[in-house]
Each structure stands twice: as structure tokens, then as C-alpha cells.
């Protein structure tokens, strides 16, 4: 047997059922022999099947199976991280020795290390993340076709399409460390997105929009027709958009754009930005950072939540953290390292892509809804902007300066008057968070970060 | 040179590749590739290919004066594709056995639903890329981690020496070494070795509670020695520090439509967003681009000539061949203001009946090929940059940018300045805070009234995202004057 085929034989043994826990244990043992004082390992594998249809015909089918192993070792207070997709014993032995060599090349970092054993998740709650349903290609093609067709039927101005895509995936994560922690969970995902294009008959001007839904469980997905119809409504309503004159006005953020604002808050309270002094919310714990209408939670254990998981990327138990309570900053989002840098315990927010050392990420990060409907909020504005999309990267997390491309609808006397585009909105996030004067009742979880409609009292809109 | 013991077997295979065939790198024979391609040979399949890729990525990073982190990632796999009319069947695998290839081929041909074809699939014949745009000796590229650590330490010291108000320096050095081989149903087999590296520096300046950020970086398909050449790494450090210090005194940016002068180099991101994406063939075949049906029409003033050129030596966006094995070229997109052409991959060139430009790119074996830019830039004009600034009564002079984005369908694009100044009475005056600029792609270049003679390419930091796939790209621009564009500041 030549060396290549021998490696392959070993690989297929390792991939057997339950083999990853043993594989992880073997790698940890090998790391110790190479001089590692602590180590952790994450193994992820999964399958995805994706279907794209466009204008009624199949455009692309994609099928894949993948697996990856990430290793982090500590040699005293020095550490390094590596990853590979080759699980043969020979390859993993090389990886371990490489990782230890790499670790010895960097400097000591006094706070580096695994979480304390006491912080590791002891329980394994079932968070309703996995559905064993396997959909055949024809079912997925049918869903995508029905979604796109519903968009075409919804309005005669829908004349073209960037397509509809149905994706299904499932996978598992195994995490083990030298404290003896071994945890694993499975999750699955089903999603449909539809991207129609509407055309204005007189000018030929085109507008694209999209709508989508993602769920862990197939049965929870909204109908293909409802997703397609909403996508069409969103594309068509943009037709005839124009610029407006430069002026300061109130801005109503819809659920999607309010979610992007909340994502900016999420970055600002992330431990890594804070200890590097690269956040506009430095040293604000216990201080008022937002309007007293604002309460924000991050809940890692919401059943079926798109950001839910039983333990974080270091094995620390997830939980529900209060981030902002009636405008006061209560907690940062932290993993072990950034927590130690700030003298605080991990909040169970380590996010780990297999090949990298942990960083911080939200689980289910949401703003608690108020009582006003979106219509009531729009109705409160005499002249202003109903914001439905922001584009670009004009956010300075160090200063909070905010300047982004925008589109939406101009509000006149409490009603949506006409669509607008090619404008910018600008302000500073520190002030914007304090200027939120209305919070909608319409919280819907469509991703890991969710917000109801929000109204900011005034920002600069630049146009003509 | 150095530390062979650290090398993986994988890397030793690279050395062998120079002597043997590219497929040998992946433990696959020409016959096995031909066998997999033959499984894809059903009647309705027009074209099929196998894309083999091995990649080693390494990074070291520094913050708070300490090089704390080192990482390395190794991946390899194969992407198998069949196209039938507009349809694409695609599968990928991180296993490279004959059986995995067959399974992937069976998945990919599912789109065709048709019986076995009667054309014979040729055994792919080996050929080499016709040029070498990035001749880097592996031995030189593969420097030991301690050398990278020293590079970052020197950067930290230089930035802090530049000004004591620099309170933190974050720097990272990333390298990637990628080996690819493409075997196609039309009988070609070609491979390439594609090195890539980048040094990125961010400084935070602090004074009386005012904190500001500045960034600078560069790289390309270059070896480690590039960064030490004439102490280039220290120039980068000073530039990042300078921008952070400058922003300490920045005033609020203006809001509204006004003349804007863009400096040369990286502000070429304007071209990438405003017209480049809109000229990718897939959007135009589907008629979803704001540029659909505009070939031969005026989309820019006559001082504008814009090309996409993948053949510039050592550039971040350059490639000897694209990811379908087509040699890259220099494509004229806009000539004296007239739209001349799209950038294409094989699928879209075939369906549209237009020339293949060598722009079929993919992020990895896990991604499908899409038409993508390489290095996109405007050719030099005749104006003196100083005259361009002098011609503006009140406006903005934008020197450096963060990212940009475009809506292909309605043509609206944004790009965000990170270093900009007011122009008052023909003179560059106060620095202003970052602001987003927004415009309409098919219209904005008609407002370019002056083009400088100072064409500059960027330093090699660009990464372009499309359909969730990131690929390295370059941009370039001479100093230009845009008569009117909306500036998203806060001061009306």
C-alpha cells in the first residue's frame, strides 16, 4: 500500500460514527506529547444541497459534503491555531507538531488560556436546532420555482429575476478540550430566497429586491408563495424612486435597517473592540448609552433560535445576557480572552470559525419590542424618511461616525409619499442610540439579530 | 533556505510539481481525470471541468505591541462542474479519491437528465501557463515565523515613534500559497501556482478623549522580501499613523451634491463599484444590470478610458490564467467614454456569443465560477493634478477610502472616504471626517471633466465580494474631477 492510499484508509475509519470524539481525544493526547500545556479542538462536518432557479428553469444545483478540524494549542502562555480538512493520522500528527512550533514563535500573553473548567457547559439542553428531514432535488426545485413564480404572478411589473434559491444543510460540531470537556450538537437549516426585478414601463428603469426566510426546521418555513409575493411587493414599491433635497429630518428604520443598527451596537459592545480601544462605547458599563426605551438581550438558548447553541466556541455555557436595560449598558459580549483583558468573566459569546482563534459574536441578539405599530410610528412623522435599505461601509466603530447610502420612502404628513434612492443618511451612533424616540411592537426573528421598527428623532439626509 | 523540517509533505509535493505534472500534486492521474470527465459526458452537457485546489494560508498578528497570534490553515479539494445550456451542475469534495470524483460527477450531471453522449472525451493534455507573472521562489516566500514576527514588531515601533499620540497599533501579515489544476472536457489540463500576501496596519490615535483611526496596507503576488525592500513596511506604518493623527483634527464632512476630486490609486474603487460589477457578463446576459444593452453607447465623458487587466506582474488582482484555465488578458471596458465590452467566463461568453476575456474566477474549489474583475483602472489623461484641484471653488478632495458597494440593477453605488479634505477656492484646506459618496453608475462617469496624467495603481489591499465569494482584486486611477456627486456628511 503506498502512503497516499494508506492515509485514505485511516481517514475513512476516523470519519465513522462517533469517531470524532475519539479523533479529538487522540489529537489532544498528541498535543500534550508535543509540549502543549492546554489545547482545544473543534471538528465540524456537514452536507449542503442548494438549488437555484431563474425565470422558471433550473439554473444551478450544488451539492457538497465537507469537514474541517481546528486546533488551538497553548504552550505555557503562548498559543497558535491551525486547521485542516485532511483527517489522516499522518496529517494530523504533522498539524499538531506544526501548531506547537508556531505557538513557540509568538510571545507570551499573560491572559491567554482555556476557560476555567467551572465555566464549561455542564448541561446539554435540546435547543430544537436539528431536523432530520432530507429533501430530494425535485422538492427543492419545486419550492424555488413556486417562490419565483409567485413573485412573477404578484405584479405585472415584475419582468425579470435574479432567481430563487432553496438551500438545505445539516451538520454537527464537536468541541473537546484538555480540561476533559467534550460536547457536540447537530443543527440543520432550510432557507428560501427570492430576488425579483421590477421594471417601470415608461422609462425601462429596473429595481431589484429580495425576501427570504431561514429556519432550523423545514416545517416552520413560511410558504414559498408568501415569500415570493413579499419579494415582489418590495421590488415593485421601489419603482419611480428619486432623490430628495439635503435636509435634517426624523428617520424611521424598518425591521431590516433597525436590525443593521442593532448589529452596529452589537459590534460596539464586543470585547475585542473594547480592549483594543477601538469602540465608541469604551468605559460605558453602567452608563446610559441609549434612550430609556431601549432594552437589548442576547439569548443563546432560545428554542429554535437561529443563533442558539448549547455551548459557545470554547465550550462555555450559553445563557441569556442583558446587554442594555432601559438605556443603561449592563454587559459586554465576551469570550474568555477578551473577558480577561477587561477583568470580566466570559459571557458565553465565543464565536469560532474552525480555523481561527475565538472571537466574539452574538447568539440571538434582540431589542425588546414597544407598543406602537409601524403605521403609528410612520404616522407620527410630518416630513421624514422611512428607511428600508442601507448600503456601504461608512461606519467608523472607533468614533461612531455613521454615513451610509440609503433608500426607502419619503414620509409626508404621516404617510409614505414616494420612493427615494441615491441619498445618504449621516450622524453619530452615540447620538443616534440616544435619539431613538419610538420602538415598534413588530419584533420578528429572521436571523441572529432582530429589532422592531425604530424612529430616530433627526439625522442628516444628503441628496440633491 | 531555512527550516525544511517545518514544511508539510504537501509543500514538498509543490517542489515535485515543477518536475512532474500538476495533477500529480493531487494524487490524481490524467486517466482518472478523464474518467470523471467521461461520466459527465451525457448528451446535453456542453462543457465540464474539474478544478483541483490546494491552499496553505498563514497569518501572524500583533496588537498592544505583542505578536500574540499565529495561525495556519490547510485545505484541498476538487470542484466538479457540468453545464448544459444555462444550467450548471456543481459538486465539490474535500476528498480526492477516484470514487469521490465519480460521485461529484454524478451529482453535477444531474442537471442534464439525458443519456450518454456519443462524443469521446479526450484525455486531457498537459500544458503550462504561457507566462509567469509572479515568479516567486517558494524558498524565499516561505520565511520562518520569527522573521514575520520581527517585521510586525518594527512596524509597531515605527508607528509609535511617528507620534506619541498613537496609542495602539494593530498589524497583521497574511500569506496564501495556492496550487490549482484545471482539467476540462475540451481536453486541456493546465495548472498554476498562485502566491498572495498582504500586510495590513491600523493605528488608533488618542488625544484628550478624542480617538481616531487610520489604516494602511499593501501586498500582492509577492514574496516576503517585498515588504522589507527599502523598508516598505515602515512606510506603511507611518502612513497608517499619519491618517489616524490627521483625523484627530478632522471637522464634520459637508452634506449634499458638490464637485469631488479623487486622488490617484485606491480611490479607483469608484470604477470597481460604479461600472466594473455592472459590466460582468452574467448580469448582462440576464439583463439585470443597469448597463444591459448599452454596448456602443456613451456611458462616460470622452476623457475616460477604462480597462480590466489581469496581466500586470506581481499585482494582487493578476493571474497567469483564470480559474477555468483561460489566460487572463487586458479588456477595454470603456474607450473614450463609449462602452466597449463585458468581462466574461466560459459559460456567459458561450451563451452570449461574445469573446472570452479570462475573467472566470472562483473563491475556492467550493465555489462556482463567476465573471469577476482582476485589476480595473482608468488610463492616464492630460491634466495636471494641481490644476484639477485649482478648478474647484468648493468641494471635497478624497484621498483614501474604506469599502464600497453597488446595486447592480438600479446602478446606485457607494464608497466611503476615510481620508478627505475640503477644497475651498481652489486650495486643499481642512481634513474632514469620513463620509459616504453615493452616485449612479451609468451616469457618474459622464460627469468626469478632468483626468490627471498621474495614473496610480493601488497598493494591493482589495478584496471583492460577489454572491458570498471573495477574490483578490486591484484598482487604479489618476487624479480625476467629478463635477457633481452626493457627499453624505452631516453639515448642510
Task: Express each pLDDT in B212-259 by its tens digit.
Answer: 999 999 999 999 999 999 999 999 999 999 999 999 999 999 999 999
Task: Express each pLDDT in A395-442 by its tens digit.
Answer: 999 999 999 999 999 999 999 999 999 999 999 999 999 999 999 999
Using alpha carbons, select from A445, A378, A462, A407 the residue that is nearest to residue A209: A407
Question: CA–CA distance from A97 to each of A34, A73, A81, B241 (Å)?
Answer: 6, 10, 12, 38
Which of A95, A399, A403 is opposite residue B435, by nearest beta carbon?
A: A403
Q: Could you say which residues from 444 to 483 on chain B have a Cβ atom under 8 Å away from some Cβ of chain A? A: none
Q: Which of A392, A395, A400, A463 to mutate to test the interface with B (most CBs of B within 10 A)?
A: A392
Q: Which of A14, A403, A421, A425 to mutate to test the interface with B (most CBs of B within 10 A)?
A: A403
Average model confidence (pLDDT) for chain A? Answer: 94
CA dihedral A250, A251, A252, A257 (to 10 degrees): -160
Chain A residues whose CB is inside 8 A of the B72 CB are 80-83, 98-99, 102
Q: Select from A79, A113, A147 the last residue of a domain.
A: A113
Q: How far is CA A335 from the centre of its chain?
A: 17
Query: A295 and A433 share a domain?
Result: yes
- Give, as one character, the DSSP assignment of residue B2: -
| Domain contains A179 | no
- Predicted ipTM of the assembly: 0.90
**What is the CATH classification number for the domain harbouring A107?**
3.30.2290.10
Domains in chain B, please, with CATH?
4-247 (3.30.2290.10), 255-488 (no CATH)
Q: How far is CA B292 from the centre of its chain?
A: 24
Q: Which of A64, A243, A272, A456 to mutate to test the interface with B (most CBs of B within 10 A)?
A: A64
Q: Which domain holds residue A422?
A: 241-464
Mean pLDDT computed over B263-267:
97
User: Nearest CA of chain A to the CA of B313: how many Å?
Assistant: 30
CA dihedral B457, B460, B466, B469 (to 10 degrees): 160
The helix (H) or strand (E) run that includes residue A299 is strand A296-299
Task: Express each pLDDT in B90-142 by its tens digit.
Answer: 999 888 888 888 878 887 777 776 566 666 666 666 666 668 899 876 555 45
| Domain contains A51 | no
| Domain contains A173 | no
Q: What does the H/E/C string look like for B173-233?
A: EEEEEEEEEEEECCCEEEEEEEEEEEEEEEEEEEECCEEEEEEEEEEECCCCHHHHHHHHH
Contacting residues for A283 by C-beta, under 8 A, at least 6 apart: none
Task: Express each pLDDT in B60-92 by its tens digit.
Answer: 999 999 998 899 999 999 999 999 889 999 999
pLDDT at B422: 97
Query: A108 and A249 share a domain?
Result: no
Cβ–Cβ contact A242 with B under 8 A: no
pLDDT at B42: 77
pLDDT at B100: 80
The b/e string for A331-360 (b: 16+ C-beta within 10 A; e otherwise) is: bbbbbbbbbbbeeeebbbbbbbbbbbbbbb
Could you give the residue ranges of the DSSP H alpha helices within B375-481?
385-390, 441-444
pLDDT at A7: 33
Chain A residues whose CB is inside 8 A of the B64 CB are 276
Of chain B, the percentage scoring pLDDT greater than 70 comes to 90
Question: Concatenated DSSP letters for B266-297?
Answer: GGGHHHIIIIIGGGBHHHHHTT-STTTT-TTS
In three-state secondary structure terms, B259 is strand
Cβ–Cβ contact A7 with B under 8 A: no
Q: How far apart are CA B434 and CA A252, in angstroms?
A: 24
| Domain contains A86 | yes
Count of structural domains within chain A: 2
Q: How far apart are CA A339 and CA A115, in angstroms?
A: 10
User: Nearest CA of chain B to the CA of A378: how many Å?
Assistant: 23
User: Nearest CA of chain A to the CA of B37: how many Å?
Assistant: 17
Cβ–Cβ contact A234 with B under 8 A: no
Cβ–Cβ contact B204 with A under 8 A: yes
- Give, as one character, the DSSP assignment of residue A270: B
Confidence of residue B373 (pLDDT cuts 50, 70, 90): very high
Q: How far apart are CA A275 and CA B388, in angstroms?
A: 43
Q: How far apart are CA B173 and CA B210, in angstroms?
A: 28
Question: CA–CA distance from B80 to each of B24, B89, B348, B367 (Å)?
Answer: 18, 8, 18, 10
Mean pLDDT computed over A143-152:
98
Q: How far is CA A212 from the centre of its chain?
A: 15
| Domain contains A152 | no
pLDDT at A15: 42
Q: How far apart are CA B311 and CA B313, in angstroms?
A: 6
Chain A residues whose CB is inside 8 A of the B416 CB are 392-394, 403
User: Nearest CA of chain B to the CA of A99: how many Å?
Assistant: 8
The answer to whether the CB atoms of B435 and A398 lie below 8 A apart is no
Task: Express each pLDDT in B404-430 by its tens digit.
Answer: 999 999 999 999 999 999 999 999 999
The answer to whether the CB atoms of B435 and A394 lie below 8 A apart is yes
CA dihedral A238, A243, A245, A248 (to 10 degrees): 50
User: Nearest CA of chain A to the CA of B105: how many Å?
Assistant: 11
Determine the angle formed by the axes of helices A89-105 and A19-33, rounding to 10 degrees.
40
Chain B residues whose CB is inside 8 A of the A62 CB are 90-92, 368
Cβ–Cβ contact A404 with B under 8 A: yes
Q: Could you say which residues from 138 to 177 on chain B have a Cβ atom under 8 Å away from some Cβ of chain A? A: 144-146, 149, 167-168, 170
The helix (H) or strand (E) run that includes residue A199 is strand A182-199
The answer to whether the CB atoms of B492 and A246 lie below 8 A apart is yes
Q: How far apart are CA A161 and CA A236, in angstroms?
A: 12
Pairing of strands A158-177, A38-54: antiparallel
Q: Could you say which residues from 65 to 84 on chain B have a Cβ atom under 8 Å away from some Cβ of chain A? A: 66-77
| Domain contains A136 | no
Chain A residues whose CB is inside 8 A of the B405 CB are 391-393, 405
Task: Express each pLDDT in B437-449 by its tens digit.
Answer: 999 999 999 999 9
| Domain contains A376 | yes
| Domain contains A403 | yes
The answer to whether the CB atoms of B6 and A425 lie below 8 A apart is no
Average model confidence (pLDDT) for chain B? Answer: 89
Q: What is the CA radius of gyration of chain A?
A: 25
CB of A172 closer than 8 Å to CB of A38: no
pLDDT at B126: 66
Question: CA–CA distance from A6 to each of A1, A2, A17, A91, B482 (Å)?
Answer: 6, 6, 20, 12, 63
Which of B89, B167, B487 is opposite residue A277, by nearest beta carbon?
A: B167
Q: What is the pTM of this model?
A: 0.92
Q: Is B38 exposed, middle or buried (0-12, 13-18, 19+ CB in 10 A)?
A: middle
Q: How far apart are CA B485 and CA B259, in angstroms?
A: 6
Amino acid at each position: 500500500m503506498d502512503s497516499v492510499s494508506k492515509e485514505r484508509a485511516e481517514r475513512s475509519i476516523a470519519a465513522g460514527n462517533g469517531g470524532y470524539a475519539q479523533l479529538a481525544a487522540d489529537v489532544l493526547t498528541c498535543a500534550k506529547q508535543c509540549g502543549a500545556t492546554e489545547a482545544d479542538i473543534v471538528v465540524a462536518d456537514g452536507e449542503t444541497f442548494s438549488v437555484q432557479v431563474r425565470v422558471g428553469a433550473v439554473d444551478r444545483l450544488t451539492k457538497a459534503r465537507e469537514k474541517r478540524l481546528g486546533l488551538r494549542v497553548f504552550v505555557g502562555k503562548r498559543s497558535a491555531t491551525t486547521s485542516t480538512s485532511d483527517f489522516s493520522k499522518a496529517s494530523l500528527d504533522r498539524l499538531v507538531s506544526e501548531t506547537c512550533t508556531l505557538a513557540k514563535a509568538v510571545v507570551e500573553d499573560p491572559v491567554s488560556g482555556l476557560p476555567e473548567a467551572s465555566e464549561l457547559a455542564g448541561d446539554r439542553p435540546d435547543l430544537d436546532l436539528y431536523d432530520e428531514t432530507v429533501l430530494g432535488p425535485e422538492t427543492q426545485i419545486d419550492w424555488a420555482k413556486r417562490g419565483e413564480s409567485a413573485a412573477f404572478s404578484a405584479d405585472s411589473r415584475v419582468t425579470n429575476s435574479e432567481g430563487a434559491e432553496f438551500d438545505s444543510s445539516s451538520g454537527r460540531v464537536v468541541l473537546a478540550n484538555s480540561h476533559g470537556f467534550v460536547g457536540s450538537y447537530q443543527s440543520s437549516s432550510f432557507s428560501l430566497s427570492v430576488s425579483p426585478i421590477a421594471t417601470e414601463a415608461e422609462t425601462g428603469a429596473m429595481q431589484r429586491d429580495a425576501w427570504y426566510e431561514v429556519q432550523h426546521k423545514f416545517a416552520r418555513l413560511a410558504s414559498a408563495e408568501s415569500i415570493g409575493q413579499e419579494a415582489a411587493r418590495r421590488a415593485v414599491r421601489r419603482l419611480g424612486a428619486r432623490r430628495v433635497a439635503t435636509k435634517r429630518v426624523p428617520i424611521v428604520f424598518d425591521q431590516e435597517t433597525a436590525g443593521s443598527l442593532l448589529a452596529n451596537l452589537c459590534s460596539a459592545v464586543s470585547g475585542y473592540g473594547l480592549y483594543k480601544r477601538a469602540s465608541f462605547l469604551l468605559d460605558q458599563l453602567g452608563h446610559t448609552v441609549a434612550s430609556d426605551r431601549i432594552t437589548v438581550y442576547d439569548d443563546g438558548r432560545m428554542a429554535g433560535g437561529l443563533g442558539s447553541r448549547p455551548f459557545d466556541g470554547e465550550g462555555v455555557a450559553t445563557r441569556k445576557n442583558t446587554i442594555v436595560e432601559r438605556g443603561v449598558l449592563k454587559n459586554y459580549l465576551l469570550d474568555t480572552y477578551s473577558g480577561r483583558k477587561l477583568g470580566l468573566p466570559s459571557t458565553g459569546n465565543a464565536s469560532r470559525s474552525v480555523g481561527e482563534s475565538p472571537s466574539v459574536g452574538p447568539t440571538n441578539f434582540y431589542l425588546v419590542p414597544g407598543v406602537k405599530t409601524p403605521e403609528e410610528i410612520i404616522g407620527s412623522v410630518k416630513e421624514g424618511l422611512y428607511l428600508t435599505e442601507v448600503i456601504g461601509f461608512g461606519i467608523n466603530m472607533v468614533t461612531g461616525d455613521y454615513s451610509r447610502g440609503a433608500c426607502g420612502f419619503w414620509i409626508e404628513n404621516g404617510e409614505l409619499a414616494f420612493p427615494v434612492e441615491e441619498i445618504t443618511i449621516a450622524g453619530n451612533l452615540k447620538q443616534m442610540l440616544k435619539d431613538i424616540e419610538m420602538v415598534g411592537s413588530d419584533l420578528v426573528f429572521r436571523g441572529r439579530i432582530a429589532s422592531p421598527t425604530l424612529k430616530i428623532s433627526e439625522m442628516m439626509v444628503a441628496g440633491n | 533556505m531555512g527550516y525544511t523540517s517545518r514544511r508539510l509533505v504537501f509543500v514538498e509535493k509543490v517542489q515535485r510539481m515543477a518536475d512532474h505534472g500538476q495533477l500529480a500534486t493531487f494524487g490524481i492521474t490524467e486517466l482518472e481525470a478523464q474518467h470523471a470527465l467521461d461520466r459527465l459526458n451525457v448528451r446535453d452537457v456542453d462543457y465540464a471541468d474539474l478544478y483541483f485546489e490546494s491552499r496553505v494560508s498563514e497569518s501572524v498578528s500583533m496588537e498592544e505591541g505583542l505578536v500574540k497570534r499565529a495561525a495556519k490553515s490547510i485545505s484541498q479539494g476538487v470542484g466538479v462542474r457540468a453545464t448544459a445550456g444555462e444550467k450548471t451542475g456543481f459538486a465539490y469534495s474535500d476528498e480526492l479519491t477516484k470514487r469521490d470524483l465519480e460521485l461529484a460527477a454524478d451529482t453535477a450531471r444531474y442537471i442534464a437528465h439525458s443519456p450518454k453522449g456519443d462524443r469521446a472525451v479526450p484525455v486531457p493534455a498537459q500544458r503550462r501557463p504561457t507566462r509567469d507573472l509572479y515568479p516567486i521562489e517558494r524558498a524565499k516566500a516561505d520565511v520562518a515565523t520569527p522573521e514575520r514576527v520581527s517585521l510586525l514588531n518594527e512596524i509597531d515601533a515605527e508607528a509609535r515613534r511617528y507620534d506619541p499620540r498613537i496609542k495602539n497599533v494593530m498589524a497583521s501579515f497574511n500569506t496564501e500559497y495556492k496550487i490549482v489544476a484545471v482539467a476540462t472536457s475540451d481536453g486541456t489540463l493546465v495548472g498554476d501556482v498562485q502566491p498572495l500576501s498582504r500586510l495590513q496596519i491600523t493605528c488608533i490615535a488618542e488625544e484628550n478623549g478624542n480617538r481616531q483611526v487610520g489604516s494602511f496596507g499593501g501586498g500582492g503576488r509577492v514574496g516576503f522580501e517585498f515588504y522589507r525592500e527599502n523598508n516598505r513596511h515602515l512606510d506603511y506604518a507611518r502612513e497608517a499613523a499619519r491618517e489616524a493623527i490627521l483625523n484627530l483634527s478632522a471637522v464634520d464632512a459637508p452634506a449634499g451634491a458638490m464637485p469631488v476630486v479623487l486622488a490617484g490609486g485606491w480611490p479607483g474603487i469608484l470604477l470597481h463599484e460604479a461600472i466594473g460589477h455592472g459590466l460582468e457578463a452574467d448580469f448582462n446576459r440576464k439583463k439585470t444590470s443597469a448597463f444591459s444593452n448599452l454596448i456602443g453607447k456613451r456611458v462616460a465623458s470622452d476623457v475616460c478610458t477604462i480597462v480590466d487587466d489581469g496581466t500586470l506582474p506581481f499585482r494582487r488582482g493578476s493571474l497567469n490564467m483564470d480559474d477555468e484555465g483561460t489566460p487572463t488578458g487586458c479588456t477595454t471596458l470603456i474607450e473614450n467614454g463609449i462602452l466597449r465590452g463585458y468581462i466574461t467566463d466560459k459559460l456567459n461568453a458561450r451563451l452570449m456569443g461574445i469573446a472570452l476575456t479570462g475573467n472566470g474566477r472562483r473563491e475556492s474549489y467550493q465555489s462556482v465560477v463567476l465573471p469577476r474583475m482582476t485589476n480595473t483602472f482608468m488610463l492616464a489623461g492630460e491634466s495636471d493634478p494641481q490644476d484639477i484641484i485649482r478648478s474647484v471653488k468648493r468641494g471635497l478632495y478624497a484621498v483614501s477610502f474604506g469599502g464600497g458597494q453597488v446595486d447592480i440593477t438600479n446602478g446606485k453605488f457607494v464608497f466611503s472616504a476615510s481620508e478627505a479634505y475640503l477644497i475651498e477656492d481652489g486650495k486643499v484646506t481642512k481634513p474632514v471626517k469620513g463620509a459616504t459618496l453615493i452616485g449612479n453608475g451609468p451616469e457618474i462617469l459622464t460627469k468626469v471633466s478632468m483626468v490627471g496624467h498621474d495614473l496610480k495603481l493601488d497598493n494591493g489591499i482589495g478584496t471583492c465580494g460577489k454572491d458570498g465569494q471573495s477574490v483578490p482584486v486591484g484598482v487604479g486611477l489618476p487624479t480625476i474631477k467629478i463635477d457633481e456627486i452626493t457627499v453624505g456628511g452631516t453639515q448642510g
